[in-house]
């Protein structure tokens, strides 16, 4: 018995702080000082997100007595049901493990200054309740919602996974607010007050010498150009789609637009919940960041990856020609193509976006048994090239929710066809159709990789965290499996596409633009796609445009991509270009029985 008592005493006095914490809660009142959250700027130091005062209604359960519940509800414009549910959740140890009747709990967050003032006048009627000042986010622009993200009250899992948070705290939920939460949030402080034997506050403990000041969060500078972002979102008004622009030399994302979108300001304050439900129920899915979550067939933009692979593997040379009389025809299989001269060498095939050329190339590669031994090994080699170019897996952008797209491998086809498949079975992947899918970010990254002649830096939207450095992956070059000399061939083909091929409308006076169209087949109307970069030498911007059901790549993709490049490289749009913007905005697209 003595040993049992000894072990229990050791457990209570040395190995457990439960009773010490309860004693401290009886003797002290700890008032949390919330830190100022870091502000967010664009690459040109324009303030995007900052803080403004807000007020929380807090309570200490032990100090509540003779409460007129209905009067409290009327004063705060809430229902009795809300009151009962909130009190129950505060007391629930499962959802609020830090609960104690002696500690401050958040009852209601984000009161406006007006509501706070009205409640403050009646506060004396509600013992145990008080007002606590904190901040909420304010937005300088009504664009960039998917990149900036939003904040919401912490969930049970948030509290469980990080002891920093307590009931009623707020946390970044999407965008950079989520991915850079730990640097933006700062560190909480504490003011300590002494209680008497009845629990009433007597004053500051040791005249405040034991207080811990809060530390503000670090400011975050994004790589986004807010004026370019505004233009991108204007161009996508009334459409479903995405625009992504990247600075090739750094991997910095210059703009990332997804349509439809929403004003980030509606996701702040007491109406956030209702607005979030409304957006989540919208059939157009405005909460979906199509730039990193949309997985689409890349269409003919993908032909550049095939050209690079075929050149590196010796399947073709720049002078190799293949016939295309209305498309690819072999063994009863026909893949159509538009009218153009035939046969064509590689650069001309890129410029005219010839389907036949790339179908023949993949068919030859998959049938090269002398080199690979089997179609399975040829397919594995092909896939390795695609992965090295940034497809098939998430790139690692510093935003939550990025999808991987789809690059099939030999096991995928073995599962569906057994061992009886060959180059004809999969020929459509050579033109960015079939099983291949990619995100708009991956397509933009392909443009950046070609612009760099064989490498890319993991795309990222953060340019600088004040006082610290970015993760090393956002500063490291990632090389593909293809030599620089082969990239030069593809660059010339993309330049020819702008000079007289499928990208003629991408021309910008005084700037050598390189581009590649894509018309991605779909169950409905085709998607309009463009991928390009400029200038041809020492490129400063790579861009991908994806307009769902937009038709030919030249219809929406090319002119939108050209406008984005012109705006960034010249700093403004010409009068003629501004008129093109109005024309694009006013042109409607039918989506089923609806129009955007």
Check pLDDT > 60 for residue 513: yes
Comparing CA positions, the residue from 415, 358, 418, 407 lying closest to residue 382 is 407
| Residue 191: per-residue pLDDT | 82
Question: Tokens standing for 388?
Answer: 């090295």
User: Considering the chain, what is the average pLDDT of its residues?
Assistant: 91
Under the banding of pLDDT at 50, 70 and 90, the label for residue 148 is very high
Under the banding of pLDDT at 50, 70 and 90, the label for residue 69 is very high
Cα separation, 183 vs 407, in Å, equals 35
Residue identified by tokens 């200054």 is 113
Under the banding of pLDDT at 50, 70 and 90, the label for residue 439 is very high
Largest CA distance in the chain: 99
| Residue 101: per-residue pLDDT | 84
Under the banding of pLDDT at 50, 70 and 90, the label for residue 115 is confident
Under the banding of pLDDT at 50, 70 and 90, the label for residue 203 is low
Question: Tokens standing for 324?
Answer: 């295309």
Question: Tokens standing for 474?
Answer: 């956002």
**What is residue 433's three-state secondary structure?**
coil
* Alpha-carbon 4 to chain mean position: 57
Average pLDDT over residues 246-260: 98
Under the banding of pLDDT at 50, 70 and 90, the label for residue 24 is low
| Residue 27: per-residue pLDDT | 63
| 336, 522 Cβ separation under 8 angstroms | no
β partners of residue 50? 138
User: Secondary structure of 156-203 in the HEC alphabet?
Assistant: HHHHHHCCCCCCCCEEECCHHHHHCHHHHCCECEEEEEEECCCCCEEE
Which CA distances in Å does 584 have to 263, 320, 550?
21, 39, 11
Structural domains in the chain plus CATH codes: 23-222 (3.90.1310.10), 226-260+290-589 (3.40.710.10)
| 345, 333 Cβ separation under 8 angstroms | no
| Residue 26: per-residue pLDDT | 55
Under the banding of pLDDT at 50, 70 and 90, the label for residue 521 is confident
| Residue 467: per-residue pLDDT | 82
Higher pLDDT, 308 or 121: 308
Which CA distances in Å does 425 have to 36, 245, 439?
59, 35, 24
| Residue 4: per-residue pLDDT | 82
Check pLDDT > 80 for residue 197: no
Give the angle 281-283-287 at the CA atoms, nearest 5°.
65
Given CA atoms 42, 48, 49, 50 in this order, what sign does their dihedral have? positive
| Residue 196: per-residue pLDDT | 64
Strands 220-222 and 40-41: parallel
| Residue 238: per-residue pLDDT | 92
Higher pLDDT, 2 or 199: 2
| Residue 34: per-residue pLDDT | 86
Tell me the backbone φ, ψ of residue 326, rounded to 5 degrees. 85, 5
Per-residue pLDDT of 441-493, as tens digits, reads 999 999 999 999 999 999 999 999 998 889 999 999 999 999 999 999 999 99
| Sequence-ordered list of residues with C-beta below 8 angstroms from that of 544, at least 6 positions apart, any chain | 242, 243, 244, 245, 301, 440, 441, 443, 444, 446, 447, 529, 530, 531, 561
β partners of residue 56? 132
| Sequence-ordered list of residues with C-beta below 8 angstroms from that of 12, at least 6 positions apart, any chain | 18, 19
pTM of the model as a whole: 0.89
| Residue 12: per-residue pLDDT | 62
Which CA distances in Å does 371 have to 268, 314, 374, 463, 482?
60, 10, 9, 45, 18
Per-residue pLDDT of 48-63, as tens digits, reads 999 988 888 999 898 8
Cα separation, 590 vs 62, in Å, equals 61
Cα separation, 304 vs 517, in Å, equals 11
Check pLDDT > 60 for residue 123: yes
User: Secondary structure of 28-65 in the HEC alphabet?
Assistant: EEEEEECCCCCCEECCCCCEEEEEEEEEEEEECHHHCC
Given CA atoms 341, 346, 352, 356 in this order, what sign does their dihedral have? positive
Higher pLDDT, 77 or 402: 402
Check pLDDT > 80 for residue 523: no
Check pLDDT > 90 for residue 546: yes
Task: Name, of 191-195, 243-247, 518-522, the range with top average pLDDT.
Answer: 243-247
Cα separation, 382 vs 361, in Å, equals 12
Burial 131-148 (b: 16+ CB within 10 A, else e): ebebebbbbebebbbbbb
| Sequence-ordered list of residues with C-beta below 8 angstroms from that of 54, at least 6 positions apart, any chain | 109, 110, 111, 112, 133, 134, 135, 136, 269
Average pLDDT over residues 564-577: 97
Question: Tokens standing for 268?
Answer: 């702040």
| Residue 423: per-residue pLDDT | 93
| Residue 21: per-residue pLDDT | 46
């Amino acid at each position: 018995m003595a040993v049992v008592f000894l072990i229990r005493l050791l457990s209570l006095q040395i190995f457990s702080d439960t009773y010490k914490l309860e004693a401290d809660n009886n003797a002290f009142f700890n008032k949390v000082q919330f830190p100022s959250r870091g502000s967010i700027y664009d690459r040109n130091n324009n303030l995007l997100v900052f803080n403004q005062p807000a007020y929380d209604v807090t309570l200490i359960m032990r100090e509540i007595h003779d409460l007129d519940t209905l009067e409290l509800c009327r004063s705060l414009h809430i229902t009795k049901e809300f009151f009962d549910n909130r009190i129950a959740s505060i007391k629930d140890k499962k959802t609020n493990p830090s609960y104690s009747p002696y500690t401050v709990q958040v009852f209601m967050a984000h009161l406006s200054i007006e509501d706070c003032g009205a409640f403050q006048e009646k506060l004396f009627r509600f013992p145990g309740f008080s007002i606590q000042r904190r901040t909420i986010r304010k937005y300088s622009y009504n664009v960039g919602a998917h990149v900036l993200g939003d904040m919401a009250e912490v969930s049970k899992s948030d509290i469980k996974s990080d002891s920093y948070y307590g009931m009623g705290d707020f946390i970044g939920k999407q965008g950079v607010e989520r991915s850079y939460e730990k640097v933006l949030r700062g560190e909480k402080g504490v003011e300590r007050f002494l209680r008497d034997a009845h629990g009433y506050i007597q004053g500051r403990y040791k005249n405040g010498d034991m207080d811990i000041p809060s530390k503000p969060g670090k400011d975050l500078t994004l790589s986004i150009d807010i004026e370019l972002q505004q233009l991108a979102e204007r161009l996508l008004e009334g459409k479903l789609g995405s625009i992504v622009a990247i600075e090739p030399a750094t991997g910095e994302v210059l703009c990332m637009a997804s349509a439809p979108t929403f004003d980030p300001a509606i996701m702040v304050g007491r109406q956030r919940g209702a607005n979030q439900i409304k957006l989540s129920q919208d059939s157009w899915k405005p909460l979906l960041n199509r730039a990193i979550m949309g997985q689409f067939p890349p269409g003919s933009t993908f032909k550049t990856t095939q050209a690079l692979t075929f050149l590196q593997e010796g399947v073709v040379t720049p002078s190799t020609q293949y016939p295309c009389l209305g498309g690819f025809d072999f063994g009863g299989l026909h893949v159509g193509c538009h009218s153009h001269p035939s046969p064509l060498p590689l650069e001309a095939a890129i410029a005219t976006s010839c389907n036949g050329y790339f179908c023949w190339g993949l068919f030859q590669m998959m049938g090269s048994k002398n080199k690979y031994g089997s179609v399975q090994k040829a397919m594995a080699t092909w896939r390795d090239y695609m992965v090295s170019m940034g497809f098939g897996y998430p790139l690692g952008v510093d935003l939550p929710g990025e999808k991987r797209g789809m690059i099939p491998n030999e096991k995928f086809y073995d599962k569906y066809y057994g061992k009886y498949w060959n180059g004809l079975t999969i020929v459509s992947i050579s033109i960015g159709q079939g099983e291949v899918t990619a995100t708009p970010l991956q397509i933009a990254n392909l443009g950046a990789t070609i612009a760099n002649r064989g490498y890319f830096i993991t795309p990222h939207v953060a340019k600088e965290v004040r006082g610290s450095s970015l993760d090393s992956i956002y500063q490291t070059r990632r090389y593909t499996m293809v030599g620089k000399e082969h990239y030069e061939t593809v660059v010339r083909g993309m330049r020819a596409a702008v000079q007289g091929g499928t990208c003629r409308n991408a021309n910008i006076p005084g700037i050598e633009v390189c581009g590649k169209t894509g018309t991605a087949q779909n169950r409905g109307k085709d998607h309009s796609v463009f991928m390009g970069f400029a200038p041809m030498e020492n490129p400063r911007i790579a861009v991908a445009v994806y307009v769902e059901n937009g038709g030919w790549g030249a219809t929406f993709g090319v002119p939108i991509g050209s406008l984005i490049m012109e705006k960034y490289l010249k700093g403004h749009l010409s009068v003629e270009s501004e008129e093109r913007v109005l024309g694009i905005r006013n042109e409607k697209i039918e989506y089923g029985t609806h129009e955007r």
